[in-house]
Structure formats: structure tokens, C-alpha cells
Structure 1
Amino acid sequence: MIKPTRHVARMSPYALAELSAPEGKRLISLSQNESLRPPSPQAIAAATKAMTAVQLYPDPEWGALRAALSDLHGVPQSGILCGNGSMELIICLTMAFADETGAVLAPANAYPFFRTAAEHARARYDTAPEDGIAASVDALLAAVQPDTRIVFIANPGNPTGTRIPRAELFRLRDELRRDILLVIDEAYGEFSDHLGEFVFDLVGHGDTIVLRTFSKAYGLAGMRVGWGLFPEGIAREVRKVMNPNNISAAGQAAAIAALADQAYMHETCASTALRRDRFITRLRRAGFEVPGSFTNFALIRFDSARAAKGADTALRAEGVVARAQGGAGLPDCLRVSVGQAEELDLAAKLLERWADGGVI
């Protein structure tokens, strides 16, 4: 059998959640940060209507979607690229601007897909220490090497749920070399937009990209629609390595309709925050260390990796699947997505019993 290229042979498959439940138990997945409710009914109706013409290729330039994004966020259409989820954009921009001669840098506990993207591009992947579990601008700047080409930062962070202020992102851009691409992944941006610290204008400072997705707050994870604001020259280069028909007609239609129903999206974010904060407060009262979160999940920190594994095993025994975080450099942590109220209640009860040393 033909052998893969050396760099692919050295790679490990991207680690997905292990979604299985013991026999007789209902699977309750709190592991993938999916929306707690379906997308806007308008998005469902638009996707259904689009299915009547799927014998045709989708719009390869995402014209109507780009126009809707431009109108909503006040950004130029010419700088918008849309991807098959923001993951496609992360992979493609890394392939376009990093290789074995140029390194990628990210915080130590960053979204693990950043490392995968670097491996695809054959680039070295460097990390910078975090301030607790929050990205540190000073540490990132200190970790820059002569061959650093891209700096990735998720804000709010995944899996930490923490965020750094707008002023710090501007400082990071100002103090980075001009030949370093700064990529700000705002997959959970809608959950912190109420703070009013938008950073789309940072793209105008040059060599900066801001990414977002429809998978979280808009509830369209199954449609695979992401987007980003790019400097136009960088967008042209990234477009060269993208699939020219990457987002289905139904996905584009659903995303456009979801943007038109901002009230529904804001309701989703508000409901998510309410359940998240109640869950965090309950676990803290039970003695768990749970940082504040600006996302649709909570990170639970245990005394050790062994303890985290024990708690994970106890949850899985009842069909509740959280997400272990060893791949993000946090083996002593579990990440729990905000799901249905009864699901979070069960997860909290199981963790409380585990903490008390009781039998679940």
C-alpha cells in the first residue's frame, strides 16, 4: 500500500468527543459546545426552501451572505471570506502563510485545532504560558521567535471560557512584528458582545484576521458555516487554497435567515448565560473550582488529572459525556457544555455525589 507523506504519517487524527453511553443509559452529550436549542425557525424555513434547488451548485462567492454580514457588523464585503465552519478558514490561512520555515504561536491552553492546522502546514507549533488559564499578551510577545509567522488567539477562549480585553488585543497587534499574522478566533464572540468590545476594526491595522462562526450562538453547527474579516490582500491568498464550492446552498440560506433574526440569537445567548451561571454557582458551592465563563460552556478544574478522570468516569457511567481537556494542556479539567436544564441538573447532582465520595 502506498505510504503517506512523512508529515501526515507523524500526525494524529484530530481528537473528537467519544459519544457513547453504557447499555441502558440515555446519551447526554455535554461535550461539543452545541447550542442549547435549535436555530431560528426562520433559518430552518430558509434551509428547507433552498433544498428545492440543490441540483445547482451554491453561490461560490457567498454574495447574499456577505452582504448580510456586512450590513449587520458594518464591515466591508470585500474583506469577508466564508468557510465550511471557521475550521476551514483556520486550516486554509495556515496553509497559505505558514510552512516548515515559519512557526505558529498560540497560548498554552488554546483550542487544539490550532496545532492541527500547524501540522497540516508542516509548521512548528509554539506555545506561550497563560496567566492562570487566561491568555497573556506579555507571554505571547515574549514567545515570538524570528521565524514566527502566525499568532492564534481565541477570545473568548476554548476550552478556558476566559477572555482578554479589547485594549490588550490592540496592544498585542501594536507590539507584534508587522510580518506576523494575528488571527483572533471569536467562535464564541456573540456570548460576550454585550460588553461592546468588538475588534473588527483591528483588521484595518493590517495583518489581522477576526473569525466567527454560526455553529454556536446561531445553532447551525450541522450546517457548517463560518466567516472571517480579512485584509483584502490576505483574503486573496487564502481564497486560493479554499474549496470553491465550500458552503451548501441550504447552509448559506440558513445563515442569512439566522442573521435576520437577531432577537432569537440574543435570546439564545441570554438563556445560555443564565443556565451557565447557575451551574457554575452550584458547582462552586459544592467546592469545585470553576472559572467564570464568557461562552456556552463551563470549565471545571480538579485537584489532579486523576481526579478529573474519576469524575469523568462517574459522569459517563450515567450516560453524561463531558469533554476531557488533556489535549489542551489541562488534564486536570473537564469542560461541560450548557445543555438542557434537566441535563445540567443531572450533571451537577452526579458531580456533587462524586465530590462527597458517594455512590452514583
Structure 2
Amino acid sequence: MILAVEHVRQMAAYALADLGGPETISLAQNESAFPASPAAIAAGRVALEQMPLYPDPDWPELREAIAETYGVTGENILCGAGSMELIGCLIRSFAGPGDRVLGTDYGYAYVASASAQVQADYVKAREVDMTVSVDDVLTAVTPETRIVFVCNPGNPTGTLIPNSEIVRLRNALPGGVLLVVDQAYAEFADVDQNPAEIFALVDHGNTVVMRTFSKAYGLAGARVGWGLFPPAIGAEVRKLLNPNNVSIPSQAMATAAVLDQAHMRDTVAKTAAIRDRFANRCRALGPTVAPSHTNFVLIRFADVETAHKADKALRAQGLLMRGMGGYGLADCLRATICDEEVMDRCLTVLKEVTS
């Protein structure tokens, strides 16, 4: 039987979430607690009539809508089947054997998988109090470093560093190092920080900013991500993108969703209110909950045994949070914010476990 190439055989498969059974309520995937914009759903239904056709490979209406909404240059936007496609193509374009891709302690795990695919070394800079430390990132840079990935807000931590720290990082990195700022949850932080400050870094030619429609816009099932790329960087990444990668209904839904900013902001506000209430009540039970600027919270228990006990008790009630052992946080569970009733059920279980 034919074997895969050596480096693929040595790779671990990307760890997929445990979704439980059909009766399970999943709090493991960071999906939106609320439906997408009604305008997005309506646009998707209309677009189904075009299914005999291939989707437009240039995403013209979607790019225009994103550019209009976020005040960026449409020609610098690339769209992907989720931001995962963009991340994978970016790493394949700019890293290879002997190169280093630098992330942080609790950065997005897929970056490690994408680095392994091209035989680049993935290394992590230390985080401080589960928060990105620019000083530690800069200390970890070596002559072999080609790409630096920073998640802000962080996943699975939910923590946030100021835009000024991202700017400081960019200014201190060597010019030949590409900085990628993964902002999958940025809409939850835009109320506190001006996104234009980070988008402006792209004009320097050595920074990429990634966003997605999977979280605040409630379109995880549509698989649409986007990134702002310097022209020279985007031209190389575009060579590796799958042509016709974003389906016709997905493009239509994402376009309508980004133009309905009122709905997105309402979703963010309602999610944040439930999140903060849950986090405060959870802290009152004893666990540590990091300040979150996302649609999830990271719950840290007294020890690994208590975390496992909580996981088992939640599952017994048909509730599934995400274990964090793969991130070296076996004493933690990550909880996606759902509606009030589900979060209250979780609190009831956690009270029994921690009392």
C-alpha cells in the first residue's frame, strides 16, 4: 500500500471538537448564541436559485461590502472558506523547511498544524497571565523566524492587548518578518478599540489582518473568512487559494450580514451581557475566569481533577464544554456563551461540583 510522504506521516491530525451526542448542547465550538441577520438568511435563500453556477472567484460584492463597512481598500481583501483557508495558504506561501513560525502559548492551534504541513518549525512565545506579551514575542524572534502570529483577542483565553501593543510589536519586528494579526473575535472588542489602527499596519507591506464571519455575524456554517493583505503578499497567497472557494449562498449571506451592522452590534451586546453575568457568577463559585473580550470564557478550576469532575458532571446533564488539555490547560474548560437558560444550567452543575 502506498504511504504518505514522511512529514505527513509524522504529523498529528488536527484535533476536532467533541460534539457529544444528538441530545447534547455544545458549548465547545464558539458558535454564536444568536441567529444571523434576517437579511443574511433571506439573501442566502435567494442565492440558492443560482446553484447551477460556480461562485464568483473574486467575491466582488462581498469585498465591496467589507471595504465599505470597515473603511479599508477592497483590492487588498482576500476571502476564504473560513479564515483557516487563508491561514493555511499564507503559511504555505511564506514558510518552509528550516523556517520558524512564531505563535504564543495559547495561540490558535491550527497555525501549528499548517506549519507542520510545510515542515516549518512552530514555536511559542510565553504569555503572561494568559495574555500575549509583546516583550516575550520579541525575545523569541530568531533569524529563522519568517512569520509571527498573534491572536487578539486570544483564543482560548479571551484576553486582549491594546492596539498600541500590536503597533509596538510591528515596529520592533525585523522588516523581513511577516506579522499576522488574527482578529476572529475582534467585533467583540471593536467597541473598546479602533480597528483602523490595526488595518493601517497593512499599508507598511509586512502585516496581514484576519477576520471571520463565523463568530459575531453568526455564519459559522457558511464558512467565510477574510483578510486584509498588502498587495505583494496577497498576490502570492491568491495563487494557493482554491478557486471558487466561497459558495454563492455564503457570499450572499456574508455580504448582507456585514451590511447589517445594527444586527451584529446587537448580537455582540447581548452576548457580552450574558458572558459577563455568567463569568461573575462562576467566579463567585471559586474558579478563576479570565477577562473575556469574545463570545466565550475560559474557566480555570482549582486543579485538573476538579476540571475533569466538572466536565463529567456537565456531560451527564447534556452540556458539553471544551477541554483545554491540548493547550496545556488541563485544569480549564472553555465555555461558549449560549442563551441565559443554558448558562444557568451550567452554573447549577458547576455549583454542585465546586461546593
Same fold (TM over 0.5): yes
Contact 1:109 1:330 in 2 (8 A): no
1:44 aligns with 2:50: no
How far the C-alpha of 1:110 sits from its partner, in A, is: 1.1
Letter in 1 for 2:7: H
Rounded Cα–Cα distance in structure 1 between residues aligned with 2:17 and 2:314: 14
Rounded Cα–Cα distance in structure 1 between residues aligned with 2:84 and 2:296: 19
Contact 1:187 1:216 in 2 (8 A): yes
How far the C-alpha of 1:305 sits from its partner, in A, is: 2.3
Spell out the pairing of 1:348-359 with structure 2 (5 A cutoff).
348-356=347-355
Letter in 2 for 1:303: A
Rounded Cα–Cα distance in structure 2 between residues aligned with 1:350 and 1:306: 16
Contact 2:158 2:291 in 1 (8 A): yes
Question: Match of 2:10?
Answer: 10
How far the C-alpha of 1:286 sits from its partner, in A, is: 1.0
Question: Match of 2:217?
Answer: 218
Question: Match of 2:71?
Answer: 74
Equivalent residue pairs, number: 353
Question: Match of 2:332?
Answer: 333
Rounded Cα–Cα distance in structure 2 between residues aligned with 1:328 and 1:206: 32
Contiguous gaps of at least 5 residues in structure 1:
none
Letter in 2 for 1:38: P
How far the C-alpha of 1:318 sits from its partner, in A, is: 1.2
Letter in 2 for 1:18: D
How far the C-alpha of 1:278 sits from its partner, in A, is: 0.3
Question: Match of 2:288?
Answer: 289
Question: Match of 1:118?
Answer: 115
Question: Match of 2:309?
Answer: 310
Question: Match of 2:127?
Answer: 130
Question: Match of 2:229?
Answer: 230
Question: Match of 1:190?
Answer: 187
Structure 1 length-normalised TM:
0.96
Q: Aligned with 2:143: secondary structure?
A: coil
Contiguous gaps of at least 5 residues in structure 2:
none
How far the C-alpha of 1:77 sits from its partner, in A, is: 1.1
Q: Aligned with 1:65: secondary structure?
A: helix
Spell out the pairing of 1:29-108 with structure 2 (5 A cutoff).
29-108=26-105
Deviations 1:240-276 (A, max 9, x none): 1110110000000000000111111000000000000
Deviations 1:207-238 (A, max 9, x none): 10000000000000000000000000000000
Question: Where in structure 1 do 4 or more consecutive aligned residues deviate above 6 Å?
Answer: none
How far the C-alpha of 1:197 sits from its partner, in A, is: 2.7
1:147 aligns with 2:144: yes
Rounded Cα–Cα distance in structure 1 between residues aligned with 2:305 and 2:261: 43
Q: Aligned with 1:156: secondary structure?
A: coil
Rounded Cα–Cα distance in structure 2 between residues aligned with 1:136 and 1:329: 18
Question: Match of 2:247?
Answer: 248
How far the C-alpha of 1:327 sits from its partner, in A, is: 1.5
Letter in 2 for 1:290: V
Rounded Cα–Cα distance in structure 1 between residues aligned with 2:90 and 2:20: 34
Contact 2:131 2:160 in 1 (8 A): yes
Rounded Cα–Cα distance in structure 1 between residues aligned with 2:111 and 2:211: 15
Question: Match of 2:300?
Answer: 301
Contact 1:111 1:328 in 2 (8 A): no
How far the C-alpha of 1:206 sits from its partner, in A, is: 2.3
Q: Aligned with 1:38: secondary structure?
A: coil
Question: Match of 2:19?
Answer: 19
Deviations 1:298-351 (A, max 9, x none): 000112223222211111111110001111222221100001211111111101
Q: Aligned with 2:246: secondary structure?
A: coil
